[in-house]
């Protein structure tokens, strides 16, 4: 709704102000209470908007415990500050200076906790997800759903915030990766001591034995004299994820052999897990259990009106072929890739136009399912990019007549009993992205 004109005019000064006074006071003075320090590296308008909403919605205690964009409140450091500081994420020595500076600049955004394990395409910014969970009004004990969880950013973040998460993805590799990252939050400090000394034998077992993951797991337990207790499974998942990660690196970079990549990636994973374990102990955080499933977002195995909040980012009908991308990892999980392809949104159809039509039908089903499982009065946030140029070519219509995907999902939401609360634009800064802007679309049931 538009602001009444007289209220708007009150904010416009009728006298010239002294520039020194205005500049010295700073912009944040008007946005936040005194004593609230926002996180360093905050550089985008949407981040400032999320920080502003957090400051208005959360109590002081909640800001200290769970806020995403504050490092200090009234001289008390926030949990987010502790989670993100300490030793920086260990990246290989030979990494390019561009990669090193990416990690430094994104210390508070992406590389913390277990989010830095495995570079999954299309992954959320964890800090942004944490803020969205907060502004959707979710509290410890509530349940959040990500029906297309990919690498598991939502479940990992929720688990640390005391919020139960249900994560679904049609790819068995995504389910495994998300599980490994959530499990890693529960591995106690020092549990991984001595592991790196065994990297050669672990590697040769993984590399030589038959390919299926269950066979790998049994062998791992036997060779390392471990029983199938839950902790051993968590450790296996972490190491196997490092192995899959190293396979990808070895294919992309010939600077090191596969086993050398495995060693340095395993070291990095161990550092990340030990770091979060120490922080959890210090802050008294017990990560909450997550339920992660291989499933179909168009037909969720979730009860009606049972979910307190939903966040997801769908694939696009033009962008990443997730199955093709993950083919070398998927061979450990599923033989029948064409069967998987049938449930992947954005992949079916021959021409781009046909793909787009099927995509719309699929998104209709996904949003209908979200509306079904969400409790009344709760929020569903969809993070979606615009690809007007590609759509205009595919549909053979002028660009200005293309309805952006952000608008399409709002219209579908309206038809499923959801209302549109707000859309926040966000620039996409990655080099290889065809999409330049995406939207954080907030709907309410």
- Give the nearest distance from C-beta 374 to ligand SAM in angstroms: 17
Number of residues that bind ligand SAM (CB under 6 A): 24
Footprint (CB under 6 A) of ligand SAM, residues 61-90: none
Exactly one of 124, 176, 206, 356 binds ligand SAM (CB under 6 A); that residue is: 124
User: Tokens 């997550």 belong to which residue?
Assistant: 290
Could you tell me the smallest distance in angstroms from the CB atom of residue 189 to ligand SAM? 26
List the one residue out of 294, 295, 277 whose CA is nearest residue 286. Answer: 277
The reply to whether 57 sits near ligand SAM by the rule CB under 6 A is no
Binding residue (CB under 6 A) for ligand SAM from 58, 166, 213, 345: 345
| Closer CB to ligand SAM, 63 or 374, in the complex | 374
* Near ligand SAM in 9-38, by CB under 6 A: none
Q: Is 106 in the site for ligand SAM (CB under 6 A)?
A: no
Q: Does 322 bind ligand SAM (CB under 6 A)?
A: yes
Q: Can residue 330 be called a binding residue for ligand SAM (CB under 6 A)? A: no
Surface-to-core class of residue 368, CB atoms within 10 Å of its CB (0-12 exposed, 13-18 middle, 19+ buried): middle
| Length of the chain counted residue by residue | 445
Q: Which of 132, 174, 242, 443 binds ligand SAM (CB under 6 A)?
A: 174
Determine which residue in the list 111, 116, 287, 315 makes contact with ligand SAM, applying CB under 6 A. Answer: 315
Tell which positions 268-307 bind ligand SAM, by CB under 6 A: 296-298
Q: Output 174 or 412, the one with its CB closest to ligand SAM.
A: 174
Dist CA 37 CA 18 (whole Å): 25
Tokens representing 248?
């990808």
Distance CA 378, CA 368 (A): 15
Told to check if 112 binds ligand SAM by CB under 6 A, we report no
Contact between 423 and 441 under an 8 Å Cβ cutoff? The reply is: yes
Kindly state the smallest distance separating residue 169's Cβ from ligand SAM, in Å. Answer: 4
Residue 187 interacting with ligand SAM (CB under 6 A) = no
User: Is residue 185 at the binding interface for ligand SAM, with CB under 6 A as the rule?
Assistant: no
Q: For residue 79, which phi and psi values (nearest 5 degrees)?
A: -60, -35
Residue from the set 107, 223, 341, 343 that interacts with ligand SAM by CB under 6 A: 343
Residue 160 interacting with ligand SAM (CB under 6 A): no
Q: Residue 31: CA atoms inside 13 Å, Cβ hemisphere, count? A: 15
Nearest CA to 274 out of 324, 235, 329, 328 is that of 235
Facing residues of 343 across strands? none
By the 10 Å C-beta count (0-12 exposed, 13-18 middle, 19+ buried), 294 is classed as middle
Nearer to ligand SAM, 81 or 316 (CB): 316
State yes or no: residue 388 binds ligand SAM (CB under 6 A). Answer: no
Q: What is the spatial distance between Cα 425 and Cα 53, in angstroms, rounded to a whole number?
A: 15
Nearest to ligand SAM of 192, 330 (CB atom): 330
Measured in whole angstroms, the distance separating CA 219 from the mean position of its chain's CA atoms is: 32
* DSSP H/E element including 166: strand 164-169
Give the gyration radius of the chain's Cα atoms. Answer: 23
- Say how far apart CA 314 and CA 347 lie, in whole Å: 12
Q: Which of 68, 83, 114, 150: binder of ligand SAM (CB under 6 A)?
A: 150
3-state secondary structure of 75: coil
With contacts defined by CB under 6 A, name the span among 104-112, 331-339, 341-349, 436-444 that binds ligand SAM. 341-349
By CB under 6 A, name the binding residues for ligand SAM: 120, 122-124, 147-151, 153, 168-171, 174, 296-298, 313, 315, 322, 343-345
């Amino acid at each position: 709704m538009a602001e009444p004109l007289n209220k708007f005019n009150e904010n416009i000064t009728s006298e010239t102000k002294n520039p020194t006074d205005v500049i010295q006071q700073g912009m944040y003075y008007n946005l936040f209470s005194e004593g609230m320090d926002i996180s360093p590296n905050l550089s985008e308008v949407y981040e400032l908007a999320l920080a502003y909403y957090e400051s208005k919605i959360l109590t002081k205690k909640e800001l200290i415990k769970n806020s995403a964009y504050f490092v200090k409140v009234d001289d008390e450091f926030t949990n987010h500050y502790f989670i993100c500081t300490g030793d920086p994420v260990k990246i290989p020595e030979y990494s390019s200076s561009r990669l090193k500076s990416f990690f430094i600049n994104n210390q508070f955004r992406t590389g913390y906790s277990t989010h830095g394990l495995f570079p999954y395409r299309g992954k959320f910014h964890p800090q942004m997800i944490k803020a969205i969970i907060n502004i959707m009004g979710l509290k410890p004990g509530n349940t959040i759903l990500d029906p297309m969880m990919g690498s598991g950013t939502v479940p990992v973040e929720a688990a640390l915030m005391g919020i139960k998460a249900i994560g679904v993805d049609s790819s068995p590799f995504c389910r495994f990766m998300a599980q490994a990252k959530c499990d890693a939050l529960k591995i106690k400090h020092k549990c991984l001591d001595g592991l790196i000394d065994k990297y050669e034998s672990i590697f040769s077992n993984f590399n030589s034995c038959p390919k299926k993951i269950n066979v790998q797991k049994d062998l791992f337990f036997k060779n390392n004299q471990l029983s199938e207790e839950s902790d051993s499974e968590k450790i296996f998942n972490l190491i196997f994820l490092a192995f899959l990660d190293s396979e990808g690196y070895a294919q992309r970079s010939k600077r090191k052999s596969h086993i050398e990549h495995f060693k340095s990636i395993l070291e990095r994973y161990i550092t990340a897990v030990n770091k979060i374990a120490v922080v959890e102990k210090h802050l008294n955080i017990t990560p909450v259990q997550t339920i992660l499933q291989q499933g179909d977002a168009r037909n969720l195995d979730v009860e009606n009106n049972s979910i307190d909040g939903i966040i997801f980012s769908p694939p696009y009908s033009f962008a990443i072929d997730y199955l093709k991308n993950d083919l070398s990892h998927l061979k450990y999980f599923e033989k029948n890739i064409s069967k998987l392809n049938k449930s992947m949104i954005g992949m079916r159809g021959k021409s781009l136009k046909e793909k787009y039509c099927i995509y719309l039908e699929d998104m209709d089903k996904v949003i209908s399912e979200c509306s079904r499982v969400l409790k009344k009065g709760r929020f569903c946030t969809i993070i979606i990019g615009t690809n007007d140029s590609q759509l205009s070519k595919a549909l053979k219509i002028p660009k200005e007549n293309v309805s952006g995907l952000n608008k399409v999902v709002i219209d579908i939401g309206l038809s499923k009993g959801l209302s549109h609360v707000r859309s926040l634009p966000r620039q996409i800064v990655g080099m290889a992205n065809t999409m330049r802007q995406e939207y954080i679309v907030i709907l309410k049931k």
